[in-house]
Chain A
Amino acid sequence: MIMGLIKPTSGDIKLFDSSLAQNRNEIMRKIGCIIEKPDFYTYLTAHENLRLFARAHQLQYTEQQYKDLYELVGLSGREKGKVKTYSHGMKQRLGLAQALLHAPEIIILDEPNTGLDPQGIIDLRQLITKLNAERGMTVLFSSHILSEVQEICTSMIVINKGKTIAQGSVADLLSSESLHVHLEVVQVDKCKLALNQSEWKDLYQMDPNKSVDHFTLKMSKREIPLLIRYLTAQDIDIVGIDYRNQLEEYFLKITHS
């Protein structure tokens, strides 16, 4: 709706203190976007695609500026290739280059991780953080991959069935949230005894979904090192410890309630 792909049935969108309906042209100059999957003219090269976009924005880009942009998104040396020869990850990088081309104030990234390989996801995450830190760009990041949201975003809005059910800084919203920590030990009985004598005695249970040497504890992230230290001091060998993403827990809690 912000990009004008879908018309609102009622109401208006305000960006940069002005109405999108009335000042679309001005607002669009300040917004860059990747909507789900970046689509380009496959019979053109990446460079030709970007030149089309630059012309539509009436930008006078030098070849050096294009080179810098390719460098930034990791497409250097491949910009003269036709887009039809590009992998999904490369298209995603080109999408980012397109979104950044006109130096927008806000970038809208709708599911930008879709189809990316693990390295691509890490690169994208680093790039987003860099753009925010070095260029002061606001990134509107929409995703179902909540671990990524937690890693990248400073503020968030949770929308469920079209309604906002949570809004605020990620740190604030998650500060009071406890984790489900999964613990795997060698000495199960000894661990059970140690936990019964600890501050977590009412907060653990044997993991019903796994084998008998697994415990699940409800605790905050800060308490994990304390738990490890405590069990080690009791001569209990810890085989593994992990926890489900905090935002996932939070999301499930608020959407189910």
Chain B
Amino acid sequence: MKEFIAIFKNELYKTAKRPRTYIGFGVILFICLTLQAAFYNDGKEILSFFTNQIDNLFNVHGNVLNGNLICFLLLQTLIVQMPLLVALVTGDSVSGETASGTIRFLLATPASRSKIILAKWLSGLCYTLLLLGLLGFMALVVSKWIFGSGDLMALNSEALTIIRGDDINWRWAAAFVIAFLSLAVVASLGQMISCFIDNSITPIVSVMAIIIIFTIIGMFDLPSFDLIRPLLFTTHMISWKSLFEDPIPFSDIYFSCIVLIIHIVAFLSISIFYFNRKDILT
């Protein structure tokens, strides 16, 4: 166990020292601050455009443009970019070391290959968690600080749901857990492809290509795709939005979590299995 902790610490240290790691944090800060500034200046006008359509049906009172709404909008926007930011680091975790030759440095230590992969995987998850933590802080805490709190007017594809401000925090917590599971799938997929490839760029591009292809398949409501759609991890990556519906489809959310966890376990197992048998020829 001590040996594993040692190499895990090494992985964290390397991740922290790589300039590439900070691209993700920079992107999140930039997008969040830019959108918050835009909403601060023009948010009321944009919002009135939407609320005008329902003004003749409902009387809208209070601060609709609040931190909860900004967080909901930011999460919907950034969930598209987050996998790329995660893949930037995890997609390079093994292939980058193979390409640069430092994989030999790692294998010259007493640690087994399985432990090396596990340490890299955990370190990737820590990075993902930090990335998501920053997003949560910027999107929720900073938005609430700027725009104040209030009820959330969540506009989904099928309905408009109003969620009371005092019933929302647990939903955010649960949404971030599901978002973490989704990104953990991306991190595990990135690392798995990274084990198969000997250069840095291909795994990152491959992860994005897979996400784009799966998302497109999931978007089309065609009978041919009905069988595979529930099995695609991209279908379940947006299940956090279901927490903002009324009533909450808990069984669907549980199913999504199970599918995501199965993907994580499968990708990690394949990584360990393949890496244990891989000849390092570079």
Given contacts A28-B110, A44-B17, contact A39 B280 (CB under 8 A): no
A5 and B280 contacting across the interface, CB-CB below 8 Å: yes
A43 and B6 contacting across the interface, CB-CB below 8 Å: no
Minimal Cβ-Cβ distance residue in A for B7: A56
Interface string of B111-133 (1 = CB under 8 A from A): 11100000000000000000000
B112 and A25 contacting across the interface, CB-CB below 8 Å: yes
Q: What's the nearest-Cβ distance from chain A to residue B103, in Å?
A: 8
Query: In chain B between 106 and 163, which residues have their CB closer than 8 angstroms to a CB of chain A?
Result: 106-113
B10 and A5 contacting across the interface, CB-CB below 8 Å: no
Contacts of B102 in A (CB 8 A): 39-41
Question: In whole angstroms, how far apart are the Cα atoms of A76 and B239 in the complex?
Answer: 57
B19 at the A interface (CB under 8 A): yes
B104 and A58 contacting across the interface, CB-CB below 8 Å: no
Contacts of B280 in A (CB 8 A): 5-6
Contacts of B63 in A (CB 8 A): none
Max count, chain A CB within 10 A of own CB: residue among B19, B105, B277? B105
Given contacts A48-B17, A52-B13, A55-B6, contact A39 B109 (CB under 8 A): no
A42 at the B interface (CB under 8 A): yes
Question: In whole angstroms, how far apart are the Cα atoms of A41 and B280 in the complex?
Answer: 17
Question: In whole angstroms, how far apart are the Cα atoms of A49 and B7 in the complex?
Answer: 13
B169 at the A interface (CB under 8 A): no
Minimal Cβ-Cβ distance residue in A for B102: A39
A5 and B107 contacting across the interface, CB-CB below 8 Å: yes
Given contacts A43-B18, A55-B9, contact A98 B105 (CB under 8 A): yes
Query: In chain A between 134 and 157, which residues have their CB closer than 8 angstroms to a CB of chain B?
Result: none
B109 and A4 contacting across the interface, CB-CB below 8 Å: no
B17 and A43 contacting across the interface, CB-CB below 8 Å: yes
B101 at the A interface (CB under 8 A): yes
Given contacts A24-B112, A55-B6, A55-B9, contact A40 B105 (CB under 8 A): yes
Question: In whole angstroms, how far apart are the Cα atoms of A118 and B156 in the complex?
Answer: 72
B110 and A56 contacting across the interface, CB-CB below 8 Å: yes
Question: In whole angstroms, how far apart are the Cα atoms of A35 and B105 in the complex?
Answer: 9
Query: In chain A between 51 and 80, which residues have their CB closer than 8 angstroms to a CB of chain B?
Result: 52-53, 55-58
Question: In whole angstroms, how far apart are the Cα atoms of A7 and B277 in the complex?
Answer: 7
Given contacts A52-B14, A58-B2, contact A39 B104 (CB under 8 A): yes
Count of A interface residues, CB-CB < 8 Å: 30
A56 and B111 contacting across the interface, CB-CB below 8 Å: yes
Question: In whole angstroms, how far apart are the Cα atoms of A35 and B101 in the complex?
Answer: 10
Contacts of A40 in B (CB 8 A): 102, 105
Contacts of B17 in A (CB 8 A): 41, 43-44, 48
B76 at the A interface (CB under 8 A): no
Q: What's the nearest-Cβ distance from chain A to residue B199, in Å?
A: 15
Q: What's the nearest-Cβ distance from chain B to residue A113, in Å?
A: 18
B19 and A43 contacting across the interface, CB-CB below 8 Å: yes
A29 at the B interface (CB under 8 A): yes
A57 and B19 contacting across the interface, CB-CB below 8 Å: no
A24 and B104 contacting across the interface, CB-CB below 8 Å: no
Minimal Cβ-Cβ distance residue in B for A28: B110
Selected from A28, A42, A43, A48, the residue in CB contact (under 8 A) with B108 is A28
A4 and B14 contacting across the interface, CB-CB below 8 Å: no
A254 at the B interface (CB under 8 A): no
Question: In whole angstroms, how far apart are the Cα atoms of A178 and B256 in the complex?
Answer: 79
B222 at the A interface (CB under 8 A): no
Contacts of A247 in B (CB 8 A): none
Contacts of A48 in B (CB 8 A): 13, 17
Minimal Cβ-Cβ distance residue in A for B276: A7
Contacts of A49 in B (CB 8 A): 105
B3 at the A interface (CB under 8 A): yes
In the complex, given contacts A35-B108, A41-B14, what are 6 additional A-B residue pairs having Cβ atoms less than 8 angstroms apart? Answer: A25-B110, A28-B110, A48-B13, A55-B9, A56-B106, A56-B111
A–B complex contacts, Cβ < 8 Å, 20 sampled: A3-B104, A4-B113, A5-B104, A6-B279, A6-B281, A24-B112, A37-B101, A39-B104, A40-B105, A41-B100, A41-B102, A48-B13, A52-B13, A55-B6, A55-B7, A56-B3, A57-B109, A57-B110, A58-B2, A58-B6
Residues in B lying within 8 Å of A, measured CB to CB: 2-3, 6-7, 9-10, 13-14, 17-19, 100-102, 104-113, 277, 279-281
The 5 closest A-B CB pairs, nearest first, are A39-B101, A56-B109, A5-B280, A25-B110, A28-B110
